Structures are given as C-alpha cells and as structure tokens.
Amino acid sequence: MRIFNLDKRFSVICDSKSTRSGFKHIASLTSGGYSVCDTKICYTNRTWESFEYESVLKKIVDLNFGEEKAKYMEVISTFR
C-alpha cells in the first residue's frame, strides 16, 4: 500500500491485489479521512508505467476533477 498526497485536502491510497488472470491496482480518493471515490485497473501482464500506480492515479483524477484536473495531473507527474 502507498499513499499519495495530492494537496492538503486530497490523498489517494493505492494498493495492489492478485487476480485469477494477473493483478489489479486499486485507488481510493480520500478527503478529510473519508473515502470519496474508488477505482481499479486490472492487468494480465506487467505494466509499463513510469512509476507504480501511475495509471490508476491518472484514472481517479480524470474521474473526479473537472477544472482542476490539469493541476492534479501535474502533481502526479512529480511522483516519479
């Protein structure tokens, strides 16, 4: 499990789980200690991400942030 702090209000908790055909990355967007949204990406083979959980982080930001999406995508790029 790994926690990524997007800013003072939002954090993303990421984890990895095994599946029958591979594995999945799970992300939970939290604000003030409460879960706001959950998402996952399933993989059947290795991922080619720049860093672990990159794709699921981008997915959760894309699903939850409208006008602020570009700001949070830039924050994610600093996690490398």
How many structural domains is the chain composed of? Answer: 1
Q: Is pLDDT above 90 for 18?
A: yes
Decide if 32 contacts 9 (C-beta within 8 A): yes
Mean pLDDT of 9-17: 97
Decide if 13 contacts 79 (C-beta within 8 A): no
Burial of 56 by CB count in 10 Å (0-12 exposed, 13-18 middle, 19+ buried)?
Answer: buried
Q: Is pLDDT above 90 for 2?
A: yes
pLDDT for residue 4: 97
Over residues 19-56, the pLDDT tens digits come to 999 999 999 999 999 999 999 999 998 778 889 999 99
Decide if 22 contacts 42 (C-beta within 8 A): yes
* Structural domain of 40: 2-77
Both tokens of residue 44?
A: 């059947």
Over residues 70-79, the pLDDT tens digits come to 999 999 999 9
